[in-house]
Amino acid sequence: MAVDSELRWTCAARTDVGLVRSRNEDACLALPQHGLWAVADGMGGHAFGDLASRAVVDALASLPAPDSVPDVSLAGFVEAARALLHGVNDALRAEARARQVPVIGSTVAALLARGLEAACLWAGDSRIYLYRQGRLQQLTRDHSQLEALRARGADMAAAAASPNMITRAVGAADTIAFDVATLEARDGDIFLLCSDGLSNPVEEDAIMAALAHGDCAAAADELVALALANGGRDNITVIVVRVDDLSSDKTIVNPGL
């Protein structure tokens, strides 16, 4: 379904428990008719990760549809999402205190679209990539110890030998900041939202090759299969989103679901 009169956004979402874990603590949201997609990964090793990830996507799903607030800009859409996630952060902190556990938390990576514009909003190490004109670009930057060391120019070979803990997540602290990046969507763009169950075991060249065919459903299936083939040690969640300009003179082949 179209988000506006010029661009059509189509998508396919897949989630898999993987080959090692007994419970899937990932959650995802795909609402192309709302211009909204999200991946949330309950914090590994913490109690109630599935509760946290579900709280994140349920809150985002409650955002009003574009038809009900047609005058809201992309910035307004992002601010509404941010406000809801701050509420989730407070609720998860309260839930952790009530259950007497240290943390109930989740990452979030959300893609929001209005007209020709798109925004990424995130906290944690779930990622959003853009495949455009044969090139793959990571639009998000991990909130993790490894990324912080990389930014400081540390010895990455030594840093990689240490556990890579995330440094920001919904529910991890009493306050939270979300990073936001905006861009103009173009005909043929393909976005990938994923949990680290994909980005850790699968190299970017393989991700790019899966997206290059332009088929959302086939790409999502292939990416999950790659993560499983490489060990499947974590839950795996992917959403592949394609943008098509309906005013352009071209044939659309298998855009997905």
In a domain, 219, yes or no: yes
In this predicted structure, what is the pLDDT of residue 157? 59
Q: Mean pLDDT across the chain, nearest whole number?
A: 91
In a domain, 257, yes or no: no
Looking up residue 53, the CATH number of its domain turns out to be: 3.60.40.10
Give the range among 100-104, 130-134, 156-160, 163-167 with minimum mean pLDDT: 156-160
Question: How far is residue 45's CA from residue 166's CA, in Å, rounded to a whole number?
Answer: 12
In this predicted structure, what is the pLDDT of residue 24? 96
In a domain, 251, yes or no: no
Question: How far is residue 127's CA from residue 28's CA, in Å, rounded to a whole number?
Answer: 13
Q: What is the pLDDT of residues 38-86, one digit of tens each?
A: 999 998 667 799 999 999 999 999 999 887 888 889 999 999 999 999 9
In a domain, 183, yes or no: yes
Question: How far is residue 146's CA from residue 148's CA, in Å, rounded to a whole number?
Answer: 5
**Structural domain of 60:** 7-245
In a domain, 2, yes or no: no
Q: Would you say residue 5 has pLDDT above 50?
A: no
Q: What is the pLDDT of residues 107-161, one digit of tens each?
A: 999 999 999 999 999 999 999 999 999 999 999 999 998 888 877 766 555 555 5
Full-model pTM: 0.91
In a domain, 32, yes or no: yes
In this predicted structure, what is the pLDDT of residue 229? 98
In a domain, 1, yes or no: no
Q: Strand 36-41 relative to strand 26-31: parallel, antiparallel, unpaired?
A: antiparallel
C-alpha distances in Å from residue 216, one per residue of 124, 146, 196, 244? 25, 31, 19, 12
In a domain, 148, yes or no: yes
50 membership: H or E segment, kind and range: helix 49-61
In this predicted structure, what is the pLDDT of residue 6? 82
Domain count, the chain: 1
